[in-house]
Amino acid sequence: MLERYGLKLDYSNCIGSIENCKKLFVNAGFEAIDIKTEQHGIYVSFDSVKTKWEELISFSFHSKSEKILSELTLIHVAEAKAKFEAELEALQTEQGIWDDLTTLYILGHK
Cα angle value 5/8/12 (rounded, 5°): 155
Residue 1 has pLDDT above 70, yes or no: no
Predicted confidence at residue 101, as pLDDT, reads 84
Answer with the residue of higher pLDDT: 52 or 26. Answer: 26
Predicted confidence at residue 110, as pLDDT, reads 87
Give mean pLDDT, residues 59-63.
53
Answer with the residue of higher pLDDT: 2 or 104. Answer: 104
Answer with the residue of higher pLDDT: 21 or 61. Answer: 21
User: In this predicted model, what pLDDT tens digit does every residue of 62-107 receive, in sequence order?
Assistant: 555 555 556 666 677 778 788 888 988 999 999 999 988 888 899 9
pLDDT band at 52; cut points 50, 70, 90: confident
Helices 46-60 & 74-91, crossing angle to 10 degrees?
150
Range(s) of the domain holding residue 86: 2-109
- Hey, is 73 helix, strand or coil? coil
Q: How many domains does the chain have?
A: 1
Please name the residue ranges forming H helices in the chain: 18-27, 46-60, 66-70, 74-91
